[in-house]
A and B are shown apart, each in its own frame.
Chain A
């Protein structure tokens, strides 16, 4: 929920998938008002969902400036295609889908990331190498952990990254992720499994280098 105060800087709470579109749902009301041309209603929608959009973009792109550009594009697309959004439809999954698509387009345009190939790791022997420590959490500081995870995410293939971000970091169910990505649940499970193993290897390798 977001409440306006002063110039519109606002208390932000997380908008999750459980906010179904009903008449009592503020999102549904604001969407109707925004469709009718009410800019302030549209701004309320931005405030409510900016965390979802910006953090997801950041995890998919790995760079705050890129994530802000992507978030801007997501909300402008939302504004442009607001009339296509049917009343009664769940809004957050739709917004996740737009976010994933915008980030994918942006990333393809910029072509920055090098992907981490699991096969390369296997060939280099790192796949078979036992971890130097089984207690990764105890050895890493919080900032370092986040930094390593972001680096690992950046190096995952695009589809695996999207699947693991939505499933493990955004905390959506496999079914919801499949709906957002337009894939089957089996495909999402396979992508998530592969991504988790790669992330584990990457984190272990980083920890070994660090120590």
Chain B
């Protein structure tokens, strides 16, 4: 070892921060090295100056300024209504990771809803594949004990699906003739409509894709921004809004 390496150890040795075996190495080196002995003396002198700072006392007024400012803020917070303090306390316990997780869940839910909406909107086009809407089969129908074809197609579809379908119809392609009324909704007709699109499509002429100059411009992607508690974390979600040309 050269003296430079020993200096790093001497800088620890001077305050007793070296383990005993290294301390013995340093001591044996110091016995034979005048340069390191001088380094140790200089270091002891500078350490004594550094430690002088520990004895420095501050003006009590400096402490009082801090204490008064803190207590003013504490009293102001305590004067807030109970419900506000309860909410503050509840949210103060939130870990940032929870907030991010919740934000991601909300985003996923939104995306799922969006995809469902798009799916429903696409299926409502007159030349699109036939679909069955939930309202077509009233719950009080005498055949309600029998599982309907729509239930076979989407067994998990709850009443919420109905709402989405109606919204989609209103917003995207209002085609009232497509919505089956309870009177029109015959189980057999429904079953026919749920046949695979290939069989249905046998009666339909396949459409030519639109030429590029006539085809509508694709809409810009939907941007979902989630701002978290941490200003450095912003979740940006780009949802491509494809146009179905068929």
Instruction: Judge whether A203 and B46 touch: CB under 8 Å.
Output: yes
**Contact A169 to B66, CB < 8 A, known contacts A83-B92, A137-B48:** no
| A204 partner, pick from B46, B47, B67, beta carbons under 8 A | B46
Instruction: Judge whether A54 and B71 touch: CB under 8 Å.
Output: no
Instruction: Judge whether A72 and B12 touch: CB under 8 Å.
Output: no
B73 surroundings in chain A (CB, below 8 A): 72, 76, 79
Distance in Å: Cβ of A102 to nearest Cβ of chain B: 12
Number of B residues with CB within 8 Å of any CB on chain A? 42
A100 to B56, CA, bound (A): 20
A142 to B48, CA, bound (A): 11
B54 surroundings in chain A (CB, below 8 A): 169-171
The answer to the question of A47 belonging to the interface, with a C-beta cut-off of 8 Å to chain B, is yes
Instruction: Judge whether A58 and B58 touch: CB under 8 Å.
Output: yes
* Selected interface stretch from B37-45, B144-152, B163-171, B188-196: B37-45
Distance in Å: Cβ of A143 to nearest Cβ of chain B: 10
B69 surroundings in chain A (CB, below 8 A): 68, 72
A174 surroundings in chain B (CB, below 8 A): 17
A120-138 Cβ-contact flags toward B at 8 Å (1 or 0)? 0000000000110011110
A to B contact number (C-beta, < 8 Å): 137
The answer to the question of A140 belonging to the interface, with a C-beta cut-off of 8 Å to chain B, is yes
The answer to the question of A155 belonging to the interface, with a C-beta cut-off of 8 Å to chain B, is no
The answer to the question of B210 belonging to the interface, with a C-beta cut-off of 8 Å to chain A, is no
Instruction: Judge whether A9 and B92 touch: CB under 8 Å.
Output: no
Instruction: Judge whether A146 and B56 touch: CB under 8 Å.
Output: yes
Q: Which of B67-119 contact A (CB under 8 A)?
A: 67, 69-71, 73-75, 77-78, 89, 92-93
A145 surroundings in chain B (CB, below 8 A): 49, 52
* Selected interface stretch from A18-26, A37-45, A89-97, A109-117: A37-45
A143 to B45, CA, bound (A): 16
Distance in Å: Cβ of B134 to nearest Cβ of chain A: 48
A134 surroundings in chain B (CB, below 8 A): 38, 41-42, 45
Classify the secondary structure of A's interface with B.
Answer: helix
A62-75 Cβ-contact flags toward B at 8 Å (1 or 0)? 00100010011001
Q: Which of B17-42 contact A (CB under 8 A)?
A: 17, 38, 41-42
A193 surroundings in chain B (CB, below 8 A): 8-9, 11-12, 17
The answer to the question of A46 belonging to the interface, with a C-beta cut-off of 8 Å to chain B, is yes
A168 to B38, CA, bound (A): 21
Instruction: Judge whether A81 and B63 touch: CB under 8 Å.
Output: no
**Contact A80 to B92, CB < 8 A, known contacts A46-B67, A168-B47:** yes
Instruction: Judge whether A197 and B11 touch: CB under 8 Å.
Output: yes
